[in-house]
Structure 1
Amino acid sequence: MHSELGHFSMPSVNIRESEKEYTIEVAAPGMEKGDFNVDMHDGLLTIACEKKCESESQGKEGESYLRREFNYSKFSKQFTLPDSVDEASIQANYDKGVLTVQLPKRQDDPRKQRRSIDVK
């Protein structure tokens, strides 16, 4: 029995919104903080992760994997952010197999300001 899944897997992602922030949660068990690269450029948030695996087919001594699925060795995901995100205040934290990226909303969001529009 043999199955090749490759080395690229896409983890599950949750995106939540509250009045004050957006939150992105990425399920990535077995990773370490140093495996992640979170980058923000021109309104685009990129979350990338790469884990160096010692051996893809070897398990414990005397064992080898016939199928190995719960392993994200490499992935990359991009998100286009709304204008309301305060890019300077973005924070990321990895805990218990979940990468959480907090994207606070700007306090001066122009979409939330009320203004009167003249009818001509």
Structure 2
Amino acid sequence: MNEGRLGAPIGRRPVGQGWRLFLWLAAAFNFVVGLLGMLSPAASFDARLIGLFVFAFGIVYLQAARDPERLAPVLWAGVIAKVGTAALFAPQGFGADGSLLVASAVVIDALFAVGFLAFLLSRGGDL
């Protein structure tokens, strides 16, 4: 692929620092939540496994933050993961016995999903 000015593929705008920061924050959020899930002494095996997957998605977001022009399409997996996680955990966060911690994570995941979508659609949304 030919590259234009600033190393961005021809026909694409370079990604701004705000988007890069957003992707770094997504990575940091997943690293923290994933580590907490894996290392919690009260966590079941299933919770530790979920923590591992959350942490692994943090690596995806970190790589996308480092090279967003090239790796933006992998964020479609992030959209699916964030929307799915928010939907699956919403009853635990907002139900009758809801947890403020879980509700906060659901809201943050939903916001990251919206952000990923905005980023992808602003770049053409190709897979």
Q: Please tell me the TM-score bracket, short chain as reference.
A: under 0.3
Q: Higher relative CO (CA 8 A, sep ≥ 6), structure 1 or 2?
A: 1
TM-score by length of structure 2 reads 0.27
Larger Rg: 1
Query: Larger strand proportion, structure 1 or 2?
Result: 1
